[in-house]
Amino acid sequence: MSDIDNEDRARNRNDDATHDIYAENGSVRADFLALVGAAIADRDVLFLRQHVVRLHESELGHLLEAIQPDQRMALIRLLGADFDLTALTEVDEAIRLEIVEQMPNAQIAAAIGELDSDDAVYILEDLNKEDQEEILAQLPFTERVRLRRALDYPEQSAGRRMQTEFVAVPPFWTIGQTIDYMREEEELPESFTQIFVIDPTFKLLGIVDLDRILRTKRLVRIESIMRETNYPIPAEMDQEDAAQIFEQYDLLSAAVVDDNGRLVGVLTIDDVVDVIQEEAEEDFMRLGGVGDEELSDSLIDTSRSRVPWLMVNLVTAFMAASVIGLFEGTIQEIVALAVLMPIVAGMGGNAGSQTMTVTVRALATRNLDIHNAWRVIRREAGVGLINGLFFGIVVGVVSGFWFEDANLGFVISAAMIINMFAAAVAGIAIPMVLDRTGADPAVSSAVFVTAITDIAGFFSFLGLATWWLLR
């Protein structure tokens, strides 16, 4: 292929690639992907510098997820030092690991020096100890100490998510001095919304929001406009608890302190938003019987991770089956029972899962506590009774006509009422009890609720039928 061809193609590519990279439906535009793919194949570094380097880190992340796996490393190699490592904080864990493992440690070390410490920790924490050490060893001293300290905090703690770069000033400085300092100092964090007031031992005295500084005259002292922080976050605190504080008090950032109340970092709302998303996602997934899986997980990993939940369900399914087994004789006499019994069990399961969903969510958001528990339990039991009555009658009438047997209709009505009441009670009691015992209600509620609605459904229906229809 001639160089001229190449140049022509590169020119066309540039004309086509200057718009928004997203299509209407939110995925990366197919033509942009094609252009990037072609540029990678042609090793068209000029194009990549112009159209890929300019992308926001999250856009670059989406691009990495959208291109073919074998193009990813090629793209990163072509970008070289221009590759913004922050993009890796925006991709699926499996893809991040795949990329980081293929990148030479020296390149990671060079790039990680450019990152905010929270992003650096985010990437480093997934690596094995050996690679971590090799990378850390190549960093400047202060950088290394900071990252090591953050990595020493437990996983999922505020200390892991915090940024160790912040602006801190003594209380006796004036606004003028503070502004002059910020104008002169070169080593400020990339962006910040408040500054901290500390004593010589780094003990946190207070916080000043930037808008407060800008409204205040030069001669005023910092200590007279600082406010005490009511919510300094201990570095060991779980990130979920820290997120709850941010949410409740509408914070933009918060000081993270060590055991001695010394300022060690700052937690910012953008990281907290990610935590909130993750936590909501976790509950959603767990209630559906799936763990921390990601779309990029492999077939085998996914299969294996879903087995335990299915296995527990299988045990309860056999328990329910053995309840049916008690009534084999009855079913042999009246086969209609076998036809109708899944309706009783299934409707109980659905009603139970409604109550359970509300309860699990209310517990997660701490809206359900001792002050309103009894009211909510009474309400749910009432809902179970009312809807049990309603659907009991509907199902009874339909079944009675279907099998031309009024007695069968009465039996299924009664069984429905019993089971939907049992479902309501199980749906609220099981998550609450699990929560009390310290277990996560989202993980195991569904299994128990289904077990109860199945067993109560089969037992009440087949039991009543045996007693009433086979008199």
Site for its own copies in 220-249 (CB under 8 A): 244, 246-249
Stretch that binds its own copies, among 43-51, 74-82, 155-163, 301-309 (CB under 8 A): 301-309
CA distance 344 to 22: 48
Kindly identify the residues of this chain, within the stretch 72-111, that bind its own copies according to CB under 8 A. 92
Going by C-beta distance under 8 Å and a sequence separation of 6 or more, which residues neighbour residue 126? 93, 96, 97, 100
DSSP string of 106-166? HHHHHHHTTS-HHHHHHHHTTS-HHHHHHHHHTS-HHHHHHHHHHHHSPTTBHHHH-BS--
Stretch that binds its own copies, among 45-53, 121-129, 133-141, 345-353 (CB under 8 A): 345-353
Q: How far is the CB of 263 from its own copies (least distance, A)?
A: 18
Stretch that binds its own copies, among 3-11, 129-137, 221-229, 277-285 (CB under 8 A): 277-285
How many residues sit close enough to its own copies to count as binding (CB under 8 A)? 115
Q: How far is the CB of 355 from its own copies (least distance, A)?
A: 9
Q: In this complex, which beta carbon is closest to its own copies, that of residue 108 or of residue 449?
A: 449
* CB half-sphere exposure, 400, CA atoms < 13 A: 14
Please check whether residue 277 is in contact with residue 247, taking contact to mean a CB–CB distance below 8 angstroms. no
Angle 147-153-158 from CA coordinates, rounded to 5°:
95
Q: DSSP character for 81?
A: G
Q: Which of 41, 145, 290, 406 binds its own copies (CB under 8 A)?
A: 290
Q: Which of 137, 386, 406, 439 binds its own copies (CB under 8 A)?
A: 386
Q: Which of 30, 46, 137, 439 binds its own copies (CB under 8 A)?
A: 30
CA distance 438 to 432: 10
Kindly identify the residues of this chain, within the stretch 158-197, that bind its own copies according to CB under 8 A. 179, 182-183, 188, 191-193
Q: How many residues does the chain have?
A: 471
Cα 308 to its chain centre, rounded Å, is 21
Q: Which of 53, 134, 126, 117 is nearest to 95 (CA)?
A: 126
Q: β-strands 168-169, 194-198: how paired?
A: parallel
CA distance 97 to 234: 30
Q: How far is the CB of 338 from its own copies (least distance, A)?
A: 4
Amino acid at the residue 150:
A
Q: In this complex, which beta carbon is closest to its own copies, that of residue 158 or of residue 368?
A: 368
19 phi/psi in degrees, rounded to 5: -100, 180
Q: Which of 6, 11, 12, 27 binds its own copies (CB under 8 A)?
A: 27
Q: How far is the CB of 101 from its own copies (least distance, A)?
A: 20
Stretch that binds its own copies, among 27-35, 137-145, 148-156, 200-208 (CB under 8 A): 27-35
Matching residue, tokens 């990610």:
274
Is residue 439 close enough to count as binding its own copies by CB under 8 A? Answer: no
Is residue 339 close enough to count as binding its own copies by CB under 8 A? Answer: yes
Kindly identify the residues of this chain, within the stretch 60-79, that bind its own copies according to CB under 8 A. 65-66
Q: Which of 45, 317, 464, 469 binds its own copies (CB under 8 A)?
A: 317
Q: In this complex, which beta carbon is closest to its own copies, that of residue 39 or of residue 341?
A: 341
Matching residue, tokens 């339990």:
377
Q: Which of 34, 102, 172, 288 binds its own copies (CB under 8 A)?
A: 288
Q: Is the dihedral of CA 217, 223, 228, 232 positive or negative?
A: positive
Is residue 464 close enough to count as binding its own copies by CB under 8 A? Answer: no
Is residue 411 close enough to count as binding its own copies by CB under 8 A? Answer: no
Q: In this complex, which beta carbon is closest to its own copies, that of residue 264 or of residue 343?
A: 343
CA distance 271 to 122: 11
Going edge to edge, which strands form the sheet with 263-268? Answer: 233-234, 253-257, 263-268
CA distance 279 to 290: 14
Q: Which of 43, 152, 382, 401 binds its own copies (CB under 8 A)?
A: 382
Q: How far is the CB of 351 from its own copies (least distance, A)?
A: 6
Q: How far is the CB of 198 from its own copies (least distance, A)?
A: 18
